[in-house]
Amino acid sequence: MSLRVLLVDDHAMLREAVAGAMATTEDLEVVAQSSTIREARDALRGTRIHAAVIDVSLPDGNGLTLVRRMRAASPTVGIVVLTMHDDEATLEAAQEAGASALVLKQGSAVEVLEAVRQAVRHPGGFVGPVVRMREAQTRDSSEGAVHLTAREHEVLRHLAAGASIATVAARLYMSESTVKTHTARLYGKLGAHNRAAAIMSAVRLGLVDLDPTRQARLP
């Protein structure tokens, strides 16, 4: 029997990447996706789940609010918290709210999957991030560094924000075919086969920041 999972994150690309990774497994199944606390609460009314993956920073509030409500309603559901913040305060807040595990967004989709499995096995326990991704600090000197041109980085930022090819072209005053060329090069450099995988790789490498409190406003 597959474990039924709810994904709650306002970044569609990250949801798509995690859902895609779960689709390749035999034991994990995404049964609902939400981008806000309100949507998640609506989904929970009609959906039975074994686990939830919840972003801390959501458009309509702190994701830990949802964690508290879910934990109060069910002591057996596994709850994995996603966050960009690698600090003790966030770790303690997640644990206090009732989360079963915390995973950094800079990590990989595989880490999320393993955290979900662990959370379902031990919903009342707590597992913090084991692996701290350091590529952002060392990518300029590492052998496998990813080097983007200024234009490629601009395109990447807009794609990460959810913009379509046509929108990126209009914002950066270039043709759609040129944007597609830059996108194809980005996929190659990031070792990705689609946009979701590229964004996950870029976040892991520190090339883009999906935290709305630190992300510069796009034109």
Cα distance between residue 91 and residue 64, in whole Å:
11
- Domain formed by 136-219, architecture: Orthogonal Bundle (1.10)
**Residues 73-98: tens digit of each pLDDT:** 999 999 999 998 877 788 889 989 99
**Residues 119-152: tens digit of each pLDDT:** 999 898 887 764 333 333 343 444 456 788 888 8
Residue 138 is predicted with a pLDDT of 40
Q: Do domains 3-121 and 136-219 have the same CATH topology?
A: no
Which SS3 state, helix, strand or coil, does residue 7 take? strand
Residue 185 is predicted with a pLDDT of 85
Contacts of 199 (CB under 8 A, 6+ apart): 11, 13, 14, 17, 159, 160, 208, 210
Smallest CA-to-CA distance from 81 within 92, 29, 207 is with 92
CB atoms within 10 A of CB 170: 14
**Record: fold of 3-121:** Rossmann fold (3.40.50)
Task: Tell me which residues of the chain have a pLDDT lower than 50.
Answer: 130-143, 212-219
Domain parsing of the chain, residue ranges: 3-121, 136-219
Q: State pTM to two decimals.
A: 0.65
Residue 132 is predicted with a pLDDT of 37
